[in-house]
Structure 1
């Protein structure tokens, strides 16, 4: 599977872990550290899937997602977050998320979700 994945998380360890696992599966991965960088990357286009942290300094992942959707971009977005309460999950889907993964997470399960979103 050849796919271009954007991974956005303010935690370097998580960004690196996800990138390593996805690259090992043959995916092209680009990482960004915050919402502003994420929007710049999204504007470049060509993404197969965007993996987006919710709780980031400045612009939250939900705000980034709303901006993406308001611009008409329908790229699959998987929210990756420590916020696992039902109201948080509902808010993520209401903002336009295609999937919602809570931390701590299994990198293999995240890869499976990305694969499903690409196919």
Structure 2
């Protein structure tokens, strides 16, 4: 995690460029350093080098690793376990949300999402 006076770092992982753009636009008022990936294949290496405070992660990703698997990998690795993970998914059934919780997600946001709602959720999570 970054020092309290340094800008927050956010990594957005989603294969839809429009969604990444919308999330970036919504979060820009935070002044955070934001990076984007379109798949989970190299995500762990990026997470270890970038050291984000928050990963916003789609569940359905190309490349053989889905968002739930990546969330588990982040949360169960002592080096990355404190990183907040927000799952972002079109899958909004109770069973999907429960699967996200079991994977260790800090939040589960159903698409389509409100940009203002995403911003408020992130702001509130940084108060914790």
Please give the TM-score of this superposition, normalised by the length of structure 1: 0.92
1:49–1:118 contact (8 Å) kept in structure 2: no
Partner of 2:91: 83
Partner of 1:65: 71
Listed as ranges, the gaps of 5+ residues in structure 1 are none
Partner of 2:61: 56
Partner of 2:113: 105
Give 1:70 shift. 2.1
Equivalent of 1:41, from 42, 46, 51?
Answer: 46
List 4+ stretches of structure 1 deviating above 2 A. none
Distance in 2, Cα, partners of 1:92 & 1:111: 20
1:92–1:100 contact (8 Å) kept in structure 2: yes
Listed as ranges, the gaps of 5+ residues in structure 2 are none
Superposed CA RMSD: 1.5
Tell me, what secondary structure is at the counterpart of 1:35?
coil
Partner of 2:13: 8
59-68 or 69-78, larger mean C-alpha shift: 69-78
